[in-house]
Amino acid sequence: MAAVDLGTHPGHLARRLQQAHYLLWNTMVSEEITSPQFAVMNALVAEPGLDQRTVGERVGLDRSTIAEVISRLDRRGLLHKVRDPRDGRRFLLRLTEEGARTHRKLSVRTTRMNQVFLAPLTAEERTVFFELIRRVADAAESLRNPEPPHPAEPPHPAEPPREPAEPLATQG
C-alpha cells in the first residue's frame, strides 16, 4: 500500500497551522494567556455582560472548555462574575480593569503576530484564505451542532409496516 499524501488532508494541514500559531502565540503574544482565553476576553470587550454559554457560542468553545477558560480568567482576576438578576442560575461576565488592560496589551501583540503568521500571503490571498477557512470552519461547526429540522416541513409520513422478506434459498 502506498503512503497517503498528507498535503491533501485538511486535518493534517490544520494541525500544522495550529502548531505554528501556538508557537507564535507563545513567542509573540503571551505564555500566560492562551488564544482561547484571549478570545473570551475579546468577546467580553465587544459585549460586556454576556453569560458563559453565550460567550462559548461566540468564540466556538464547547461547554466544558468555556467553563475551564472562564474559571482560569476569574482566578487570575481578569474577569468577574455577577449573578444575573433576572435568572439567578446564571452569571454575567465582565472584564475587570486588569482584564481590560491585559486585553489592550494582547490586542497589539496579536496584530503583530498575525502579520508574521500571514506574511507568506499577499493581501488578496489573505482575503481568499479567510473566506475559505471561515467557510470550512462554519461547515464544521454545523456538524458539531446540527440544526433541528424546520418546523414548517411536514413530518415524513410513517411507512406502513412491511411483511418480512422471504429468506433467500441457499445453494448447496
Contact 52, 66 (CB under 8 A): yes
Beta-bridged to residue 159, according to DSSP, are none
- Confidence (pLDDT) at 141: 79
- At residue 111, what are phi and psi to the nearest 5 degrees? -60, -45
Contact between 30 and 109 (Cβ < 8 Å): yes
Intervals of the chain under pLDDT 70: 145-172
C-alpha distance from residue 88 to each of 7, 68, 83, 138 (Å): 50, 21, 6, 33
Sign of CA dihedral 64, 66, 67, 72: positive
> Residue 153 has what pLDDT?
52
Contact in structure between 113 and 125 (CB atoms under 8 Å): no
**pTM of model > 0.85:** no
